[in-house]
Amino acid sequence: MPRYFTELAYNGTPYNGWQIQPNAPSVQQELNRAFSTLLRQEISLTGAGRTDTGVHAAFFVAHFDVPTSLQDISQTIYKMNRLTDKSIAIYSIYPVQPEAHARFSALSRTYKYFINKFKNPFTEEYAIRTYPLPDLQKMNEACRILFEYTDFTSFSKLHTDTKTNNCKILKAEWTDTGEQLVFTIQADRFLRNMVRAIVGTMLEIGQGKISIAELKNIIESKDRCRAGNSVPGKALFLWDIKYPEEIKI
């Protein structure tokens, strides 16, 4: 069966995350409905990962299989954007190798988290404010410690079904845009709730509640209770996903 990747974006506010859940709206459910309606057969999409309730995706990838090749992809994209809710946008659909997998073929994922420095009614729904504003230099010092470790159990949601809590951090930094503090983190994989827990811990370091030296103890303890609180999902965006070029047909 031909396999396709679809690239899309979504506002996570109306959804309980990507994954289908009983009695709760999800992005996956909405896309399955729209694709099944358009193609007149049962279509089930597999996503690149599970975003939590309220978390957004500026870039997301999912794959699906169909019995026969799509004849007019540009029309499929156009019609899908009419069938889906306004919170979801389909950007592209393209054929891939049969073994290509939206989740397992990904080389890395990048997330961004946004903190408003000032009150801004236009970004309020997609950023948080925190008092006092954290020290950017301290948080970037803390970022460098993340590269020394691979086991991030201390930042993982408890009782998940993952076989390992090892991740390779490829990038982690805070930047100041003038209006916002932005945290960017890239890794080969992420654990459930990992980015929000890291940001929460970083903020406590930036506000002087946790020392930079204590961060090492937190990571090495492999104890979620030692790390900071998870920050709200509304300011978190899945920003990019990298795949090998050879998966495209």
Q: Which residues are known catalytic residues?
A: 52
Which residue matches tokens 């049962």? Answer: 42
Among the residues of 113-164, which ranges form H helices?
136-146
Among the residues of the chain, which ranges form H helices?
27-39, 73-83, 136-146, 194-206, 212-221
Contact (CB, 8 A) for 111 and 231: no
- Residue 240 CA: distances (Å) to CA of 133, 161, 205: 27, 24, 27
Which residue matches tokens 């004849």? Answer: 71
